[in-house]
Chains A and B, each alone.
Chain A
């Protein structure tokens, strides 16, 4: 536990050729995602759209966390801080917009989706730069605990900020608006989230296959060797941490808009735990893992909660089964199912 690295994952997705069955099912999944609003309407199950939106938003956050936790091997326990910061950026800008006041007397509020999402990414990126540059000096357990400490500090800061709702959080009167279409419509908002999730997936895919991604994975596997060939670890880790912070902030901003509500719960440590679970359940250091994990966790929770009051018991059992029986999460299980050759 002293080196701050996780052992190399047995999966090396970049070097394996996807089977035909796999690419076929991926195509079906994409088609389903695109057609979901129409399908939900046709079968009169509109709530599915809300669930799918949640899955996509959490998938963005989980993909970001996976960059740090999976590919980078940096076990951060404070990712919810950026989720909450993104959400609060949206909420606070919205409050100032509706009160026609200014943040700290300087910055006017806004209800433009574009402005708010960009601001959320900027704020959480800056926070990640500060937190990362301090906590990346530690490794292993210290790193886990320092990131947790910073997240808890932000959590209690927002709990005590009465001007922005304190414990109760902030309500938004309506979603932030965008030009050309109505974000208040759930199908449109689902489209926004789908587009952003797809964009983030593409960006992550490019990143992990780039030189940057290889350096990051190399640092996880053997830091000493990479230092010896002249790579400064801190720089790469910090950049990954900041990108992950920005992605999680984006997800938080989308979540705030989806629920039209932000509260300190968004940055509670159990939320960091939830995001971690999504990554681990899906499969760390795999591209598809966080998507599977987010979908599994959100859908399991929703369907179990609809069936029984004691859904947490069954969720716990299923999680336990996943961790005991599948090595490498759902992505690895899928992989074996489709007979990936290794």
Chain B
């Protein structure tokens, strides 16, 4: 039973990761921009949702507000900063978006302080539900999984069966050709950037009640999201889904079960410390192995 519960936890974490890395992989794949400030958009979404729910008490309003604020911030970042750097050295983009992290984090400290905000669960999703005899699971986490899967399905429809999705796929495959065919890439880029930001904001909004909302939450998850993007293949949303689920499962499972294994071998506190270290490593090991075993994966990935 505990195994199934941990698998569900892993899937839930993987879904959150997917929402962030889907936007990241699109921005990366279509514009070729390494957007370090993507984690900040996640944080912006989380703060916006937390504040709205604290003032109005409405979960839906908070969700929509988180999405809207993150999307608006994303479009603003694209127009003010990133747009001017498309033709520049990738390192310039890294430096500029790193500067944005510093500014956004400090801005959040100035506005909301360093104290983490704790967000209460929406009352409708409180409590847990019995899935199998002997296995009850929190409704909220189930809701996150369902919402994530719905978003993933919508995303696949959008990318595979609409005109803008076609442009996204074309952009990820051959950027110059899209431009040469007369597509107004400037507008397309703004839309994709804003859309990716919105997904990150959604992830932040739904992560609020599970983890505390605080400054720096974006950077912790940003690196994991990059790992997911690389495991799944740059520009590939489908890859991001599989990569995120794999990363979420590996991370959660090793966190849950490695301490038990290590405690067989050595005494308590040392075992726990080592196990937490090794389980933090596991996700990077997964990525390094993926890259070393299949180095061509990045080039052959399909959106």
Binding site for B on A (CB under 8 A): 1-2, 6-7, 69, 75, 134, 137-138, 140-142, 145-146, 148-150, 152-153, 156-157, 159-162, 166, 269-270, 273, 276-277, 280-281, 284, 310-313, 315-317, 319-320, 322-324, 327
Contact = CB atoms under 8 A, between A and B. Distances in A.
A205 to B, nearest CB: 22
Given A142-B230, A160-B273, A316 B32 contact: no
Given A280-B95, A284-B91, A319-B95, A313 B277 contact: no
B269 A153 contact: no
Contacts of A156: 277-278, 280-281
B230 A320 contact: no
A312 B284 CA distance: 29
B278 A269 contact: no
Contacts of A310: 106, 109-110
Interface string B270-288: 1001111110110011011
A145 B226 contact: yes
B91 A2 contact: no
Interface stretch (B49-57, B62-70, B290-298): B290-298
Contact of B99 (A146, A160, A270, A317): A317
B274 to A, nearest CB: 5
Given A149-B288, A281-B95, A6 B106 contact: no
Contact of A312 (B103, B234, B275): B103
A323 B90 contact: no
Contacts of B32: 1
Contact of A137 (B105, B277, B292): B292
A203 B81 CA distance: 38
Nearest to A7: B89
A324 B96 contact: yes
B203 to A, nearest CB: 20
B276 A160 contact: yes
Contacts of A166: 273
A234 B90 CA distance: 23
Interface of B: 28, 32, 34, 81, 84-85, 88-92, 94-96, 98-103, 105-107, 109-110, 219, 223, 226-227, 230, 234, 269-270, 273-278, 280-281, 284-285, 287-288, 291-292, 295, 298-299
B95 A153 contact: no
Given A1-B90, A1-B234, A2-B299, 9 more contacts: A142-B298, A148-B226, A149-B227, A149-B287, A276-B91, A312-B102, A319-B99, A323-B99, A324-B96
A318 B84 CA distance: 17
A270 B223 CA distance: 10
Contact of B100 (A6, A134, A320): A320
A274 to B, nearest CB: 9
Contacts of B100: 316, 320
Contacts of A134: 288, 292
Given A138-B291, A162-B273, A310-B110, A149 B284 contact: yes
14 contacts: A137-B292, A138-B295, A141-B234, A142-B230, A146-B291, A149-B291, A152-B281, A156-B277, A156-B281, A160-B273, A160-B275, A276-B95, A280-B95, A320-B96
A273 B110 contact: no
Contacts of B292: 134, 137-138, 146
Contacts of B95: 276-277, 280-281, 319, 322-323
Contacts of A157: 277, 281
A160 B274 contact: yes
A238 to B, nearest CB: 16
A203 B285 CA distance: 35
A310 B277 CA distance: 33
Nearest to B284: A149
Contacts of A327: 88
A141 B230 contact: yes
